[in-house]
Amino acid sequence: MTTFAAIDIGSNSCRLKIARVVSHRLKTIHEDREVTRLGSSVFQGGLISPEAMAVTLKALKRFQRAVQLHGADQIRVVATAAMRDARNAEAFVTWAKAETGWEIEIISGLEEARLIHRGVVFNEPGTTGRLLLVDVGGGSCEITLSQQRRIQSTISLPLGAVRLTQEFLPSDPPDEEALARMQHFITRELRRAHGRIAVPDAARPPLVLATSGTAAALAEAHQILPRKAAPSKSGKRTTRQSGDSVSTQEVRRLARRLHRMSLAERIAVPGIGLRRAEIIVAGAWVYAALLESFHLTGFRYSAMGVRDGILAQMLAERDERAVSHEQFEQERWESVLATATRFGVNLRQAEPVRAHAVQLFDELASLHRLSEEYRTWLAAAAMLSETGKFLNHQGHHRHTQYIIAASEIYGFSQQQRTLVSAIARYLGKSRPQPDDRAMRNLAAEDHEPVRRAVVLLRLAIALNQDRASDVVRFRARSYPRRVLLELQPGRTGAELELWSLRKEAAYFREVFGRELLVTLL
């Protein structure tokens, strides 16, 4: 059975979840969490401290032992707000790779929101209608409006509990002036959110689901604080399950009461504990302000998060019989089309190139021997191959590589976008070289597959030279020493396509070691 592992390196804590595929569904077999405060030094001075690096790396090594013990087939490690902001993030990524062999992917706030959304709608019941997702993490706050399990709009704000505590609440308990400054900052950022997130009217409020440790702590603490707080024996919080609800009035009451408590008093509140007590005031203030600002009645806690979205995405990518596979593939392709449109690509002209690239991939499978996932990368590269013209027609292939690698394309990790960008880069006079910037960003084992995919895309583009005519049809046949392309001309012939394909014959022979013969039917 296939086993997946997902690791979320957050600004406050690192989390691991390992799940096994059973009957095309995920079954959690191991979870772990460690508070590392990676963001504390970042939000003060812009750098990850050596101490935070060491603590985080220690947690990652523990996670690695668990991953090895459970025999995970695929691992994805992502980092969020603290690593996005840290000027020395690359140093930590390099150190972590040297110690664990893992590639840490620093994801954007929007990708973080998308993964949280996928994790929630994949696992939580009742999420098919209107849904507002709120995740107040250590460094950022993601707000997502969803309808029928599809994201309508999303925004990431710098309203994380660790970030706000470091910037606005140096004293404990915080004084009223510091709280007022923090409240002003929160209000200003939420004003930006209103420009992006249009919550339906109060008569038909959406279901509000809140994720992350702050929401979990508030969901438990509100049941305790109205009475005398019982002491916490260990200072550690237990793992809460989804379903606890808290009204907006209760969140505001909690926020006011918590800020008047000392650190020791907050630690004693069940559900908060030692490490959460240090940042709970800022987190509670964000939730209270957000709920009031959007005129919401409260939230329901969900235990899902980024790691659950990663696991759900892994399943959707790998298992065609999984319930979420078809929706995931549709959403991913819609994101490719949206990116192409944003950069002025004519989709009607790009679509035949994509279709021909996929046909070549299928008919020449015995020749190129690329893994099935390259079918997706090739199709995406075909649709996005002219995005660089948005910046400049001259040297547009270089611009294309940059745009694809840097764009937000849902369902594509940074590594996958790098692969797609490399395939789309070499469609002019240049050829892939190991020391090229596009190739340096790839693992060495990906160089040869990318070269082969580049050849297929170059042939697909050569088949679409005469934009004025109808689409040329063809058939590809592979023989031991040669490959035969038989073209069926359109209404205006296929002489230009024939000439363009024959120009590719030398490079085709260099990569595949066979002659390329092109004939007209």
DSSP of 20-65: EEETTEEEEEEEEEEE--THHHHHHHSS--HHHHHHHHHHHHHHHH
Tokens, residue 176 = 């009223």
| Cα distance between residue 144 and residue 137, in whole Å | 14
Q: pLDDT value at position 64?
A: 97
**Tokens 């031991």 sit at which residue?**
480
pLDDT band at 154 (very low <50, low <70, confident <90, very high): very high
Q: What is the pLDDT of residue 221?
A: 87
Homologous superfamily assigned to 125-303: Exopolyphosphatase. Domain 2 (3.30.420.150)
* pTM of the predicted model over 0.85: no
CATH 3.30.420.150 domain residues, the chain: 125-303
Whether 233 has a pLDDT exceeding 60, the answer reads no
pLDDT digits (tens, 9 = 90+) for 361-407: 999 999 999 999 999 999 999 999 999 999 999 889 999 999 999 99
Would you state the pLDDT for residue 283?
96
Mean pLDDT of all residues in 154-168: 94
Sheet holding 515-520, edge to edge: 473-478, 482-488, 515-520
* DSSP-derived 3-state class of residue 477: strand
pLDDT in the model for residue 237:
43
> Is pLDDT of 41 > 80?
yes
Overall average pLDDT of the 406-411 stretch? 88
| pLDDT tens-place string over residues 266-286 | 999 888 888 899 999 999 999
Predicted pLDDT of residue 441: 87
Structure tokens, 144: 């997502």
**Confidence class for position 236, pLDDT limits 50, 70, 90:** very low
Weakest mean pLDDT among 126-130, 186-190, 248-252, 375-379: 126-130
Is residue 17's pLDDT more than 70?
yes
pLDDT-derived band at 243 (thresholds 50, 70, 90) equals: low
pLDDT above 50: residue 265:
yes
Q: What fold does the segment set 324-464 form as a domain?
A: Hypothetical protein af1432 (1.10.3210)
- According to the model, what pLDDT value does residue 225 have? 59
- Model confidence at 126, pLDDT cuts 50, 70, 90, reads confident
Phi/psi at 514 (nearest 5 deg)? -135, 155
Nearest to 315 by CA among 25, 17, 6: 25
Q: CATH 3.30.420.40 residue ranges in the chain?
A: 3-107
Within 268-384, where are the H helices?
273-277, 280-293, 306-318, 325-342, 347-363, 365-368, 373-384
> Structurally, what CATH architecture does the domain formed by 3-107 represent?
2-Layer Sandwich (3.30)
Nearest to 291 by CA among 260, 255, 258: 255
Confidence of residue 22 (pLDDT cuts 50, 70, 90): very high
Task: Say what the pLDDT of residue 232 is.
Answer: 45
Please give the pLDDT value at position 521.
84
Give the angle subtended at the CA of 162 by the CAs of 176 and 210, to the nearest 5°: 95
Mean pLDDT of 176-202: 90
**Residue 56, CA distances (Å) to 14, 306, 459 in order:** 7, 18, 47
Give, to the nearest 10 degrees, the angle between helix 414-425 and helix 396-406. Answer: 170
Residues 436-453 pLDDT 10s: 989 998 989 999 999 999
**Nearest in space to 38 (alpha carbons), one of 5, 79, 66, 75:** 79
Average pLDDT over the chain reads 91
Residues 491-504: tens digit of each pLDDT: 778 889 999 999 99
In three-state secondary structure terms, 428 is coil
Name which of 242-251, 355-364, 503-512 the model is least confident about.
242-251
**Residue located via tokens 């510091």:** 178
Task: Give residue 179's pLDDT.
Answer: 94
Residue 14 is encoded by which pair of tokens? 């690192």
155 three-class SS: strand
Cα end-to-end distance, the chain, whole Å = 48
Grade residue 320 by pLDDT with cuts at 50, 70 and 90: confident
Decide the pairing of beta strands 298-301 and 150-157: unpaired
Share of the chain above pLDDT 90, in %: 74
Rounded (to 5) percent helix, strand, coil in the chain: 50, 20, 30
HSE value, Cβ hemisphere, 13 Å, CA-based, for 438: 28
